[in-house]
Amino acid sequence: MIRDITIGQYFNSTSPVHRLDARMKIILTLIFIISIFLCKNFASLGLMVAFAFFIVLLSKVPLKMVLKSMKPIAIIVVFTSLLNIFYIRGGTPLIDWKFIHITSNGIFTALFMAVRIASLVVVSSMLTYTTTPTMLTDGLEKLLSPLKLFKIPVATLAMMMTLALRFIPTLVDEIDRITNAQKARGANLDDGNFIQRVKALVPIIVPLFISSIRRAYELADAMDCRCYTGGPGRTRMKQMKFHASDFVSLGIMAIFIAGIVVLNHFFGAVLVK
C-alpha cells in the first residue's frame, strides 16, 4: 500500500517535459489544474483528458507508473462518485423509487468528478515524475520570492520542502523494514476489525517516529557542520534559465485553454440548472 504512493517520486529520463524549466512546469501545472475545473461539457473534458494523455506520452514516463499513482485514490474517486449520484438533484429524473432519487445531473456530476480527480492526480504526479525534488523546490522558491517583501522566509520554507520530499522514499523504506521486522515477530497487520488494526500499527509508528527524530537530529548536525545558515547570501550552483522551449510550451498551453473555452461555448453545459 505505502509503496503505491508515487507522488514525490522522480522518473529519470530525457524528454521534452523533463527539460522544461521547473518554474514553467509549476506554472503550467497550475494552469492545467484550473483548466480541469473549467470543463463544462464532454467535448472540453475529452480535450482535457487527451491533452493530459499527450503530456504523459511526451514525458516518456511508462503508463503503468502513471496508473499506479492513481491506485491509492481509487477509493476516493468511487466514494465521491457514489455520493454525487445519490445526492445531486436537478436535470432529468432517471430513477425515483422510495428514498433513491437519481437524476441526470447526479450521473454527470459523478462522471465529471471522477475524471477530474483522476486528471488532477495524473497531472500533478507528472510534475514530480519529470522534475527532481531539488529543481522543484528551487523553482518554487524563485516563484515565491516576491513574498520575501512580506518577511516570509521563502528560502527556509523551500529548504524544508526539499528535505521533506527527500525523506519520503527513505521513510517508505524504513516503514517497509520495520513492518517486516514486526511481521517476523508475528505482528498481524492484515486481519481483525478497525480498532485491532489501528492497535497493530503501534509497533510500526513508534519505531518510525523515533528513527525520524534521530534522522532529523543527524541531518541538523550535518547541516551545521557544513555551515548552513540559510536565507540571504546563499547562492546556487545551477542557475535557472528560461529557454525557447519553455515559451513554446506556454504557447501550447494557451492554445489548449483557448480550445477548452471554445468547446465550452459551442456545446453548452451538461449540467441543467
Partner 1 sequence: MPVLVLDGVTHLYNKGLPTEKKAIENINLSVEKGELVGIIGHTGSGKSTLMQHLNGILKPDTGTVIVDGADIWGNKKAVREARFKVGLCFQYPEYQLFEETVYKDIAFGPKNMGLRDNEVNKRVLRAADYVGLSRELLDKSPFDLSGGEKRRVAIAGVIAMEPKVLVLDEPTAGLDPRGRDKILDMIKNYREATESTVLLVSHSMEDVARVASKVLVMNKGKVEMFGTVEEVYAHSGELRKIGLNVPQVSKVFEILKSKGLDLGTVYTVDKAAQLILERGGAVK
Shortest distance (Å) from residue 74 CB to partner 1: 19
Closer residue to partner 1, CB minimum distance, 205 or 272: 205
DSSP state of 96: E
Question: Distance between CA 36 and CA 49 in Å, rounded?
Answer: 9
Q: How many CA atoms lie within 13 A of 191 on its CB side?
A: 4
Cell of residue 238, nine digits = 545551477
18, 134, 135, 139, 202 from 238: Cα distances, Å:
16, 11, 9, 12, 43
Interface ranges with partner 1 (CB under 8 A): 62, 64-65, 177-178, 180-188, 202-203, 206-207, 210-211
In the complex, least distance from residue 125 CB atom to partner 1, rounded to whole angstroms: 16
Closer CB to partner 1, 12 or 239, in the complex:
12
Beta bridge partners of 103: 93
Q: Quick one: 100 or 195, whose CB is closer to partner 1?
A: 195
CB of residue 45 to partner 1, shortest distance in Å: 31
CB of 214 to partner 1, least distance (A): 9
- State the minimum distance, in angstroms, from the CB of residue 47 to partner 1: 31
Task: Write out the three cell numbers for 181.
Answer: 521486522
Residue closer to partner 1 by CB (options 145, 180) is 180
Instruction: In whole angstroms, give the CA distance from residue 72 to residue 167.
Output: 20
User: What's the min distance (Å) between Cβ of 229 and partner 1?
Assistant: 32
Q: Considering beta carbons, is residue 78 or 213 the nearer one to partner 1?
A: 213
Helices (H), the chain: 16-19, 22-38, 42-59, 63-70, 74-87, 104-130, 133-144, 154-184, 194-200, 202-225, 244-267
Give 16 or 203: the residue with its C-beta nearer to partner 1.
Answer: 203
Please, is 89 exposed, middle or buried when counting C-beta atoms within 10 Å of its C-beta (0-12, 13-18, 19+)? Answer: exposed
